[in-house]
């Protein structure tokens, strides 16, 4: 794989000088056009030490408009980063539409270096790369132009480079003991890198290997690549990028869904309710304190029918909690900063530090519920969202976050009764709008969407809990009970 990049390629200085002015003009022109485009460009820079990654990025910054180009270097994670799932810091640094982001030491650095050091087995590496493939697919599917550059050096050139850097007093500071040690493990490194590149060179986001021996050669090559790839992406009719939504077997032939089997008669007497509520709340108080102390986080995803009782349930759940340790995130229309990025970005950004509870009132499932039913998302978008969501949730649970997903279920009659009741109470009137009645008319479509959602996203680590909600008392106690059980198990 690397053979072609170990030849010691150079570029004649005159050719470089001749080509550069046009290339720079092209790059500036493209950046300008990109500002009006509906996709971001994300460039990942990886490769062999000393292959000139840093110099190349510096070169790009100088050639291009640095106001629309942002490089993020990932080093040791900060404490705020460590307390969130692994990919959080990369999501945090995703460029918005119209801009170019460069990730220096990208999500490939950790797996490669861990494998080289023997901290990971081959299987660990494979699992890690498969996770990366899914993330990259998610981004590319959303329109991101992902350019993955590997700057390479053959063993001999690598050794020569490190030694010549070390010998020159002007550049000696750039050579660390780690660099010198790396010479010894070059062969292992090359082999791990080869495996990594092979497994992650996908049709949608292939690796591009550039030989790093010669500064002029690598800079001009990379500059041209960026120009041509961005240009090509701009010229593609956006419709072509949409993968056809095939193989989706609609359930519309069978009108019954799992929701029809929910026993909505479940209820609690007032006295029982009061007792059980108090008991569970007391228990939760204890568990939540322990969770905070042990830095165990909880993410609660609340979905349900309009007027299903989410608000009242949230109030009962937070009652025994310390307001400093939880946050309720209402999910409404995205802000423009959110609209400029993948739809999951706005959930990633709300993940809190270790030991905190985040309650999402409406969630990322909007993609496969309201956006599906109302046609805000294209078919291919909401269909692939199931896998994207599963992956997102796996990130959370793998990090040790206790993830709870509740569907608060009521039937159509109960909903109507609650709408009417709300209209009678002054401070609840705002909760009822024409839209609620409109959504109600599409009950069956929503029911189908809910059934599909539960079927496709109820996983071992993140199962759905359908809460019987016609009786609010039952629902609240049930929600608290599940929360306590899950927390107890996690602690």
Minimum distance between the CB of residue 330 and a copy of itself, rounded to whole angstroms?
Answer: 4
Nearer to a copy of itself, 334 or 463 (CB): 334
Minimum distance between the CB of residue 157 and a copy of itself, rounded to whole angstroms?
Answer: 23
Q: By rule CB under 8 A, what count of residues binds a copy of itself?
A: 50
CA pair distance 153, 217, nearest whole angstrom = 13
Determine the interface stretch with a copy of itself among 67-75, 233-241, 255-263, 446-454 (rule: CB under 8 A): 67-75
Structure tokens at 103: 């990730």
98 binds a copy of itself per the rule CB under 8 A: no
Minimum distance between the CB of residue 199 and a copy of itself, rounded to whole angstroms?
Answer: 27
DSSP E strand stretches across 97-217: 100-104, 145-152, 207-211
CA pair distance 319, 349, nearest whole angstrom = 25
321 binds a copy of itself per the rule CB under 8 A: yes
Give me the phi and psi of 464, to 5 degrees please: -85, 140
CA pair distance 206, 306, nearest whole angstrom = 44
Which of 418, 397, 398 is closest to 408 using CA atoms?
418
Interface with a copy of itself in residues 356-375 (CB under 8 A): 359, 361
Query: From the list 322, 398, 413, 444, which residue makes contact with a copy of itself (rule: CB under 8 A)?
Result: 322
355 binds a copy of itself per the rule CB under 8 A: no
Contacts from 268-274 at CB under 8 Å and sequence distance 24+? 268/471, 268/473, 268/474, 268/477, 270/473, 273/473, 273/474, 273/476, 273/477
68 binds a copy of itself per the rule CB under 8 A: yes
Minimum distance between the CB of residue 63 and a copy of itself, rounded to whole angstroms?
Answer: 9
145 binds a copy of itself per the rule CB under 8 A: no
Structure tokens at 162: 């490190």
25 binds a copy of itself per the rule CB under 8 A: yes
Query: From the list 253, 265, 427, 435, which residue makes contact with a copy of itself (rule: CB under 8 A)?
Result: 427
482 binds a copy of itself per the rule CB under 8 A: no
Minimum distance between the CB of residue 357 and a copy of itself, rounded to whole angstroms?
Answer: 12
Minimum distance between the CB of residue 172 and a copy of itself, rounded to whole angstroms?
Answer: 12
Minimum distance between the CB of residue 119 and a copy of itself, rounded to whole angstroms?
Answer: 24
104 binds a copy of itself per the rule CB under 8 A: yes
Query: From the list 324, 434, 441, 460, which residue makes contact with a copy of itself (rule: CB under 8 A)?
Result: 324
Which of 106, 98, 110 is closest to 136 using CA atoms?
106
Contact 191, 87 (CB under 8 A): no
352 binds a copy of itself per the rule CB under 8 A: no
CA pair distance 133, 204, nearest whole angstrom = 10
Contact 96, 340 (CB under 8 A): yes
32 binds a copy of itself per the rule CB under 8 A: yes
CA pair distance 52, 55, nearest whole angstrom = 5
Query: From the list 57, 139, 284, 369, which residue makes contact with a copy of itself (rule: CB under 8 A)?
Result: 57
Nearer to a copy of itself, 25 or 245 (CB): 25
Minimum distance between the CB of residue 96 and a copy of itself, rounded to whole angstroms?
Answer: 9
Nearer to a copy of itself, 15 or 73 (CB): 73
| Cα angle 54-59-60, degrees, rounded to a multiple of 5 | 100
Minimum distance between the CB of residue 385 and a copy of itself, rounded to whole angstroms?
Answer: 24
Interface with a copy of itself in residues 251-310 (CB under 8 A): 289
337 binds a copy of itself per the rule CB under 8 A: yes
Query: From the list 7, 66, 191, 194, which residue makes contact with a copy of itself (rule: CB under 8 A)?
Result: 66
**CB 64: neighbour CB atoms within 10 A?**
18
Determine the interface stretch with a copy of itself among 87-95, 150-158, 330-338, 371-379 (rule: CB under 8 A): 330-338
247 binds a copy of itself per the rule CB under 8 A: no
Contacts from 453-456 at CB under 8 Å and sequence distance 24+? 453/365, 453/368, 453/369, 453/386, 454/258, 454/407, 455/258, 456/386, 456/390
R_g of the chain, CA atoms, integer Å: 27
Structure tokens at 343: 């739809």
Contact 443, 412 (CB under 8 A): yes
224 binds a copy of itself per the rule CB under 8 A: no
Query: From the list 80, 168, 269, 413, which residue makes contact with a copy of itself (rule: CB under 8 A)?
Result: 80
CA pair distance 325, 66, nearest whole angstrom = 40
Contact 31, 69 (CB under 8 A): yes
Structure tokens at 15: 């050719």
CA pair distance 129, 213, nearest whole angstrom = 28
- Per CB under 8 A, residues contacting a copy of itself are 25-26, 28-29, 32, 54, 57-58, 60-62, 65-68, 70-73, 78-80, 102, 104, 173, 289, 311, 314-315, 318-319, 321-325, 327-330, 335-337, 353, 359, 361, 426-428, 430
């Amino acid at each position: 794989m690397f053979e072609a990049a170990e030849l010691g390629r150079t570029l004649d200085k005159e050719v470089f000088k001749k080509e550069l002015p046009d290339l720079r003009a092209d790059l500036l022109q493209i950046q300008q056009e990109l500002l009006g485009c509906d996709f971001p460009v994300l460039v990942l820079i990886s490769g062999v030490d000393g292959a000139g990654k840093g110099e190349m990025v510096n070169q790009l910054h100088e050639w291009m408009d640095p106001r629309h180009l942002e490089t993020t270097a990932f080093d040791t994670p900060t404490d705020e980063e460590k307390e969130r799932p692994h990919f959080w810091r990369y999501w945090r640094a995703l460029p918005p539409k119209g801009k170019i982001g460069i990730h220096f030491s990208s999500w490939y650095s950790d797996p490669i270096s861990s494998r080289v050091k023997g901290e990971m087995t081959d299987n660990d590496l494979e699992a890690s790369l498969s996770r990366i493939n899914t993330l990259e697919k998610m981004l590319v599917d959303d329109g991101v132009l992902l350019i993955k550059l590997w700057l390479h050096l053959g063993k001999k050139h690598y050794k020569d480079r490190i030694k010549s850097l070390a010998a020159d007093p002007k550049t000696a500071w750039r050579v660390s003991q780690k660099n010198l040690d790396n010479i010894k493990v070059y062969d292992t490194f090359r082999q791990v890198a080869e495996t990594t590149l092979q497994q992650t060179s996908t049709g949608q986001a292939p690796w591009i290997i550039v030989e790093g021996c010669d500064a002029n050669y690598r800079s001009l090559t990379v500059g041209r690549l960026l120009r041509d790839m961005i240009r090509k992406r701009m010229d593609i009719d956006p419709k072509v990028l949409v993968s056809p939504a095939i193989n989706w077997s609609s359930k519309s032939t069978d009108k019954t869904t799992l929701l029809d089997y929910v026993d909505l008669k479940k209820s609690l007497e007032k006295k029982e309710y009061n007792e059980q509520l108090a008991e569970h709340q007391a228990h939760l108080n204890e568990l939540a304190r322990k969770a905070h102390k042990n830095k165990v986080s909880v993410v609660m995803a609340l979905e349900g029918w309009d007027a299903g009782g989410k608000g009242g349930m949230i109030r009962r759940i937070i009652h025994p909690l310390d307001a400093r340790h939880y946050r309720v995130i209402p999910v409404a229309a995205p802000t423009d900063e959110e609209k400029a990025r993948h739809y999951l970005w706005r959930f990633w950004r709300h993940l809190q530090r270790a030991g905190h509870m985040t309650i999402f009132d409406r969630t990322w499932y909007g993609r496969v519920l309201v956006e599906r039913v109302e046609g805000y998302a294209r078919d291919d978008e909401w269909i692939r969202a199931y896998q994207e969501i599963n992956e997102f949730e796996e990130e959370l649970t793998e990090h040790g976050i206790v993830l709870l997903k509740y569907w608060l279920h009521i039937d159509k009659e109960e909903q109507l009764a609650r709408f009417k009741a709300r209209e009678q109470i002054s401070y609840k009137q705002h909760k009822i709008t024409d839209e609620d009645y409109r959504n109600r008319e599409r009950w069956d479509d929503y029911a189908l969407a809910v059934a599909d959602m539960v079927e496709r996203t109820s996983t071992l680590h993140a199962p759905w809990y359908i809460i019987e909600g016609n009786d609010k008392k039952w629902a609240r106690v049930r929600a608290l009970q599940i929360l306590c059980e899950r927390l107890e198990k996690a602690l």
